[in-house]
Structure 1
Amino acid sequence: MKKNSTKKQTPAVQPVQEKHEIRPGQSLELLKELHILTRDGKLNQDSRRKLKQVYHLYQFIEPLLLKLQESHANISLVDHGAGKSYLGFILYDLFFKSGQAQSQAHIYGIETRDELVQKSTELAQRLNFPGMSFLNLSVADSTHSDKLPEQIDIVTALHACDTATDDAIQFALKKKAKFMVLVPCCQAEVAAELRKSKGDAVRSNPLSEMWRHPIHTREFGSQITNVLRCLQLEAHGYQVRVTELVGWEHSMKNELIVAEYKGTPAKRPGDRLAEILNTTGLDNLRERFFVPQ
């Protein structure tokens, strides 16, 4: 005899409520303008990945902003190689917007492509983000520009190619930045110098095997560039943390350097940096990786 069984009804799978990925109070208009949301307010796979990347980086920067806020509200942040200013707009929207009436906090986006500078300027005006401005300058030129304050609290440079990251570090050192957040990219200069130095300068150094083959030269050059940058920052009195920027799956350039100024330049990192430059035949780069005298 066939038993009557009540089949458990599986509830229909409801579409994921995509809005849960958007933070409360966030500007939907901004997210649409940045193409993180579609025009009808939806998230597609590509835009969800972009949002995840920005939020992931925000979780590293927010504690730095909160620490700065303990001493003063008028925080200044410069974003080098800003591009479409995804980072600057998200930071302003999530952190600065709510207190903009009482604060003189300001985010400066530095970008060489004039059309992106113009678009970002227009968007900031449309969104009523008065604490944002955008300058058509190279990273190097911004160091001497009178359009920026004498002192800056935090400097960011995400995927600033090759020596632009070093220019951002030089900018931050000159502006006495409390914090730096760097995601370096395309370190070609050091690799080019390593190719030149495969002769007498490193012939007696067995470690030169690490960059004898072209592919190793490229990878070793990238690695040692960031090592030199960290030593330089430590020599100038910064505490350095290096981690992987998890969540940037689309990019092989996944190294995040966060530096906080502690006020005491250190001699040993400078000595180490000099030794590395000497033993790898990179003495020509002493001016770029300068340390306090």
Structure 2
Amino acid sequence: MSKALKAAKAEADVLQELRPGQSIELLKKLHILTREGRLNQDSRRKLKQVYHLFQFIEKLLRELPGEGAQATLADHGAGKSYLGFILYDLFFKARGGHVYGIETRSELIEKSRVLAGQLGFGRMSFLNLTVAESTHADGLPAQIDVVTALHACDTATDDAIAFGLAKKARYMVLVPCCQAEVAACLRETKVLALSRTPLAELWRHPLHTREIGSQLTNVLRCLYLEAHGYQVTVTELVGWEHSMKNELIIARRTGQAKAGAAERLKSLLAEFGLSSLLDTRFRLQ
């Protein structure tokens, strides 16, 4: 096979992986595609995750008035803003609306601003703030339609939820990562818990503490969202072979707070010796 044919086949293979209308220039700027327009295995995996998440978010955006014509979306822990740029390219660019990327690393914010300028993505803003700071920041509107947090580490997911509640977000799309706070609390109270209940055997060993802490954290988050008037769906983002941080939480605002969810949240925190979190992460009033 000649070099020209090989190149044409490689290009066709790459195009098969991309969404219709996807900007090749954008993917090269994000280093998802090489300068030659090729995809390596790591980039293919990353793109698969972002595209899969895009499918969920696009469906929610289309449920907004005018099929999302003036939607606002805040992406927390944006990093290099892969998600924000691809959402803008495939959805917002042709419709209107605004994408806000929120990230603590100033160098990534600056790079994202430069790239948005180069691509003419005029309705993208990048804010050098923590998730918690962004709740009261001047550069964001009073209400946000969609809040996303892809692999926001540890308590950043909880901060994204708090932001969504403060902004009365219609939807929240969360892929939690590296939950450590609850696991640390479980470790601190382990001796007391072992004397009180056989359930503590579930987190007696360090590895189990980490895993139970992670699972419990997400269960508590779902109850917390339900208690604040959201309908919650939990599913997989992609196959486990692509990412171990794979839990996807989708919350839709109904405005119908569930008293039963609030009671179960309090009971669960009490059972695990975590009631102090009612004053910090899981405030119900």
For 1:21, the aligned partner's letter is E
The question of whether the paired residues in 2 share the 8 Å contact of 1:230 and 1:240 is answered with yes
| 3-state SS, counterpart of residue 232 of structure 1 | helix
1:87 maps to: 83
For 1:160, the aligned partner's letter is A
Q: 2:129 aligns with which of 137, 142, 153?
A: 137
For 1:52, the aligned partner's letter is K
For 2:89, the aligned partner's letter is D
Worse-matched range after superposition: 197-206 or 59-68: 197-206
Deviation, structure 1 residue 35 = 1.0
Deviation, structure 1 residue 208 = 1.2
Unaligned runs of 5+ in 1: 1-11
2:169 maps to: 177
| 3-state SS, counterpart of residue 196 of structure 2 | coil
Map of 1:52-91 to 2, 5 A cutoff?
52-70=48-66, 73-91=69-87
| 3-state SS, counterpart of residue 193 of structure 1 | helix
Measured in 1, the distance between the counterparts of 2:68 and 2:237 equals 28
Map of 1:252-263 to 2, 5 A cutoff?
252-263=244-255
Query: Does 1:45 pair with 2:41?
Result: yes
Percent identical among aligned pairs is 66
1:227 maps to: 219
Give every structure 1 segment of 4 or more consecutive aligned residues whose post-TM-superposition deviation is greater than 3 Å. 12-16, 69-72, 199-202, 247-250
Deviation, structure 1 residue 248 = 6.3
Measured in 1, the distance between the counterparts of 2:180 and 2:42 equals 29
Aligned CA distance change for structure 1 residues 222 and 145 (closer, same or farther; 3 Å): same
Aligned CA distance change for structure 1 residues 150 and 84 (closer, same or farther; 3 Å): same
The question of whether the paired residues in 2 share the 8 Å contact of 1:160 and 1:185 is answered with yes
Query: Does 1:148 pair with 2:144?
Result: no
Q: 1:282 aligns with which of 228, 251, 274?
A: 274
Query: Does 1:236 pair with 2:228?
Result: yes
2:119 maps to: 127
For 2:280, the aligned partner's letter is R
1:6 maps to: none
Aligned residues: 278
The question of whether the paired residues in 2 share the 8 Å contact of 1:270 and 1:291 is answered with no
| 3-state SS, counterpart of residue 125 of structure 1 | helix
Measured in 2, the distance between the counterparts of 1:33 and 1:249 equals 27
Query: Does 1:118 pair with 2:110?
Result: yes
Measured in 2, the distance between the counterparts of 1:131 and 1:231 equals 34
When you count helix as a share of all residues, which structure comes out higher? 2
RMSD: 1.8
Greater Cα radius of gyration, structure 1 or 2:
1
Measured in 2, the distance between the counterparts of 1:202 and 1:268 equals 28
Worse-matched range after superposition: 161-170 or 201-210: 201-210
Map of 1:259-278 to 2, 5 A cutoff?
259-278=251-270
Measured in 2, the distance between the counterparts of 1:33 and 1:69 equals 32
Question: Scaled by the length of structure 2, what TM-score is found?
Answer: 0.92
Query: Does 1:36 pair with 2:28?
Result: no
The question of whether the paired residues in 2 share the 8 Å contact of 1:238 and 1:259 is answered with yes
For 1:47, the aligned partner's letter is S
Aligned CA distance change for structure 1 residues 176 and 154 (closer, same or farther; 3 Å): same
The question of whether the paired residues in 1 share the 8 Å contact of 2:32 and 2:47 is answered with yes
Query: Does 1:194 pair with 2:190?
Result: no
Deviation, structure 1 residue 72 = 5.8
Measured in 2, the distance between the counterparts of 1:148 and 1:249 equals 37
Unaligned runs of 5+ in 2: none
